[in-house]
Structure 1
């Protein structure tokens, strides 16, 4: 029986979020499926990976020079040595680097090795340290990569100078479109659950409460606006929850900005909101933004890699500087005052995101995995 191995830093917030449809694809093709990643579930017993036959808990650390990555190297190498994989698909900077380092040290390894870069850590506007650490590593390891997949135009252009076997540009990992829209009664009920009034204009963001997601930019902008009828919902959890709560209090926004935590009802929340905000400092090709587009939402997003691959400025929304509170404030003022633009922008985004539909991406990956033998 043929075998495939998926490698990533973590299970819950990577493998289970992005790769289940592709594990299913291999199961449907009769492959034995293996996953190597760190168990990042709080309750370790909850670690269940659909369509995975064999799971190995590998102690990857996101910090590239952490000692745990030495252990991870040897444990992953043992799994690869003990199995004759036909395909190895690795993801995330650390998971991808360690897997390809193993290939370098196993010259007889016959598996087709695929690496998906979900957004290089070196990019226009990145810190110098990111370029010093990650750029030479990625360029060097490309020679041990049979197929390098990039998911945005900037990374694709950058990787053209890398000496990989084959370079591909794929439209992300695919998104599912909402199966149905909420009725007016359901919208009313949902808004009530979220303590929203009819007169409120509702802004929403989806993303972890971490520095990279830059939620503080919006909070500061709203603090300057002083428009109590504008409400802001943030879906996600993370280590900055306490700091963001303090920032909300400091700006007098306790009745305007709500930290909703991790949510399983993102589509419903998008459908009861008016404008989607995506203030990130760094992205590869953001799924949260694509899901908002699939819900026909107008968008205010930062003008960075990934975001500007998806949003056409002044057509699907407004692109702003990631470091300008003034830009964010003005964009919110403009869009909240011009609600007649929302349907047109939402429709523009809905049409633009069709090329990122999951079924299209699965079909494209099928060709990458199996060639014409699909």
Structure 2
């Protein structure tokens, strides 16, 4: 992703944009990792001209997540009651990730159904703040701070839904891995998220900070999980078709070959005659 939106103040952001433009001028090629980022770099912030920018998606080793079985290990470690609905939040605990929205969503859900729980995999400067908030709001039995978790499969195999509440994102890896694992995703439609999720076909998206919209989708998903078969399959197929690492390797190889050919031809054309 980039840091031109919602990460820093206006002055610092402007400085970063000027630096990026200067670096682009001395670069042979600029690589972006999503269609949204390509649009930002070429049009919104005019970092470089379209001819100097390539879009190559992230490439991940997704094989360990293929056909990931559901496991109750995470639920047992949290001592969840039978019939609990476990939502997952994966990310740094910093303002841009907007954990507060996730907690507000949980509060709303608990007004109707006490079965909901939220596990938070991640750490950061806001952890103490949101732990205190959870205590003040009486949420401690339903909110589980796990800290950093090395094995993403440990989380994905145990949750019913992944929620993402960020105010901005590049290409969120947690969403890619959840979709590859056939875990339903409900996310704010920010940054590169709409490039990953086709709403109601491969997952669900809501406007930034729209607690009620996220509550509606979570309720819908948890009340009729058997209706999600086609959505999970479509999400899985989409991710494996675009984000496995061998696609990245092939496209990077093709880009370097093209740049090398163009550079060599340019040098030959401009070489002085003997």
Query: TM-score, normalization: structure 2?
Result: 0.82
CA offsets per residue over residues 109-167 of structure 1, 9 Å max, x none?
xxxxxxxxxx2222599964565333333223311111100112122123335248731
Moved more, 277-286 or 195-204: 195-204
1:304 to 177, 190, 194: 190
Bigger fraction of residues in helix: 2
CA distance in 2, matches of 1:290, 1:174: 9
Is the 8 Å Cα contact of residues 207 and 235 (structure 1) preserved in structure 2? Answer: yes
CA distance in 2, matches of 1:124, 1:231: 29
CA distance in 2, matches of 1:228, 1:358: 41
Is the 8 Å Cα contact of residues 66 and 181 (structure 2) preserved in structure 1? Answer: no
Alignment of 1:1-374 (within 5 A): 119-123=1-5, 128-129=10-11, 131-160=13-42, 161=46, 162-163=48-49, 166-178=52-64, 181=67, 187-226=71-110, 227-354=113-240, 355-371=242-258
The alignment covers a number of residue pairs equal to: 253
Q: Secondary structure at the match of 1:345?
A: helix
List 4+ stretches of structure 1 deviating above 3 A: 123-131, 179-184, 369-373
Cα distance change of structure 1 residues 181 and 313 upon mapping to structure 2, 3 Å threshold: closer
CA distance in 1, matches of 2:51, 2:203: 38
Cα distance change of structure 1 residues 325 and 129 upon mapping to structure 2, 3 Å threshold: farther
Is the 8 Å Cα contact of residues 201 and 274 (structure 1) preserved in structure 2? Answer: yes
- Which structure is higher in RCO with an 8 Å CA cutoff and minimum separation 6? 2
Is the 8 Å Cα contact of residues 200 and 229 (structure 1) preserved in structure 2? Answer: yes
How many angstroms does 1:168 deviate by?
Answer: 0.5
RMSD of Structure 2 on Structure 1 (CA): 2.5
Report what 1:11 is aligned to. Answer: none
Is the 8 Å Cα contact of residues 182 and 236 (structure 2) preserved in structure 1? Answer: yes
Cα distance change of structure 1 residues 174 and 221 upon mapping to structure 2, 3 Å threshold: same
CA distance in 2, matches of 1:164, 1:357: 25
Q: Secondary structure at the match of 1:172?
A: coil
CA offsets per residue over residues 304-360 of structure 1, 9 Å max, x none?
121111001111222112222222222222222221233322212111111111121
Bigger fraction of residues in strand: 1
Cα distance change of structure 1 residues 125 and 309 upon mapping to structure 2, 3 Å threshold: farther
CA distance in 1, matches of 2:67, 2:236: 14
Is the 8 Å Cα contact of residues 203 and 231 (structure 2) preserved in structure 1? Answer: yes
Is the 8 Å Cα contact of residues 116 and 142 (structure 2) preserved in structure 1? Answer: yes
CA distance in 1, matches of 2:249, 2:159: 30
Is the 8 Å Cα contact of residues 106 and 117 (structure 2) preserved in structure 1? Answer: no
CA offsets per residue over residues 56-80 of structure 1, 9 Å max, x none?
xxxxxxxxxxxxxxxxxxxxxxxxx
Query: TM-score, normalization: structure 1?
Result: 0.62
CA offsets per residue over residues 24-53 of structure 1, 9 Å max, x none?
xxxxxxxxxxxxxxxxxxxxxxxxxxxxxx
Is the 8 Å Cα contact of residues 37 and 192 (structure 2) preserved in structure 1? Answer: no
